[in-house]
Amino acid sequence: MAKRSEQVKDVHFRADANGCLSRPAFEGAVVAALKREPVATMVHLDLDNLLVLNEKAGREAGDKAIGTVIAALSKCAAKEGWTLGRIGGDEFALLAPGTTLEPVFLRAEQLRQELDAALVKVVPRGQTCTVSIGVANTPRDTKSRGPASAEELMRNVDLALYSAKAAGRGTFAVFEPGPDINCDSQRPAVAAAR
């Protein structure tokens, strides 16, 4: 019985054909990367209006949008040497180990524009689907250091994504820590990029 349990658990940690890790596998990869390298930047992406697209154009249209994003993110991850994970149904994350915030921030905006352009080609006429992005960095945005900062980094990049969504979607935001980093009281600054 224990062997079957181990096999089932192993399935959850495999990457798909595009190299996109499951959430548990991505979280494990983040911890492992931060053991090797204390500096890392994370990008968290979410498709805007996917629910509306599914309701109005059908799940096939939504699946096509997700497939387009996965293909583009996989290509980006391979080119940049980043780790890609699917965090939820239409949420993805990229980890850039050993990379400071600025180059990833600039690449994230470029990536957002590329994804939006790719989505325009596959989304049915009259429908819209864009991408919102949040970006955070360790050690810049975390109190903890090394592997202990993984959970905090993921929480802060999530807050940056929520800020981008609140700013009207199709934007990106960078987490802006205050003088005393406390995730519950932070309000990420939004970079106006549409």
pLDDT in tens, the chain (194 residues): 444 334 334 434 455 666 799 999 999 999 999 999 999 999 999 999 899 888 998 899 999 999 999 999 999 999 999 999 999 889 999 999 999 999 998 999 899 999 999 999 999 998 989 999 999 999 999 999 888 899 999 999 999 999 999 988 888 899 987 554 444 434 444 444 44
Instruction: For domain 15-191, give the fold.
Output: Alpha-Beta Plaits (3.30.70)
Q: Which amino acid is at 52?
A: V
**Rounded Cα gap, residues 20 and 76, in angstroms:** 12
Query: What are the φ and ψ backbone dihedral angles of 66, each rounded to 5 degrees?
Result: -65, -45
CB atoms within 10 A of CB 170: 20
| DSSP state for residue 22 in the 8-state scheme | P
The answer, as to whether pTM is greater than 0.75, is yes
E strands along 39-166, which residues?
A: 40-48, 83-86, 91-97, 130-138
Domain map of the chain by residue range?
15-191
Q: What is the reported pLDDT for 57?
A: 86
Count of other CB atoms within 10 angstroms of residue 99: 19
